[in-house]
Structure 1
């Protein structure tokens, strides 16, 4: 069973019975705001998530993510929530500083 923990949102935990779902879909279905300026199409990096643990539980990087890595717009520990699907297991992430919403209170 996939589990997403968003560390800097008070360790918000999202459990799902479904596998192979995009991370951003599970976050939004939980009622949590997560930035996505391009409409979840992989055309920007505003849905970037910092992966602290569980990278092995995600799908392989997409072509778009590889392009952004080559442009130094994504670090090796970052993925696009609109491109990465969670297969199973636990994923511990953080909202990137640059992508935080002003109306949400984030924790350290």
Structure 2
């Protein structure tokens, strides 16, 4: 079982029974709106998440994530939801300020 907690969306809990899933797939399948300007292809950083807990439950950085890390567009506690695979356990994340939608209410 996988669990994602989005802290600045009122600690929204999302659960998936399947292991090894892309984070954005789990989020979208649970009807949570999450930005992804390039269509989930790892070409931008609009889908980035800030990880506050559980980074060890993610698979290794992808080539695209390494590219953005080298360009200093992803910090050590940030990953792309369209690239990062949640292998097991719980992941606590936050929506980056720059990637918040105006039509959604965020908690902080």
CA distance in structure 2 between the partners assigned to 1:62 and 1:87 by the alignment: 14
Hey, what does 1:25 align to over in structure 2? 25
CA distance in structure 2 between the partners assigned to 1:10 and 1:106 by the alignment: 7
Hey, what does 1:93 align to over in structure 2? 93
Residue 84 of structure 1 deviates from its aligned partner by 0.3
TM-score by length of 2: 0.99
1:30-65 CA distance string (max 9 Å, x none): 000000000000000000000000000001000000
| 4+ aligned runs moved over 2 Å, structure 1 | none
Q: Alignment partner of 1:13: what SS? A: strand
Give structure 1 stretches of 5+ with no counterpart: none
Residue 77 of structure 1 deviates from its aligned partner by 0.1
* Number of residues of Structure 1 aligned to a counterpart in Structure 2: 108
C-alpha RMSD of matched pairs (Å): 0.4
Give structure 2 stretches of 5+ with no counterpart: none
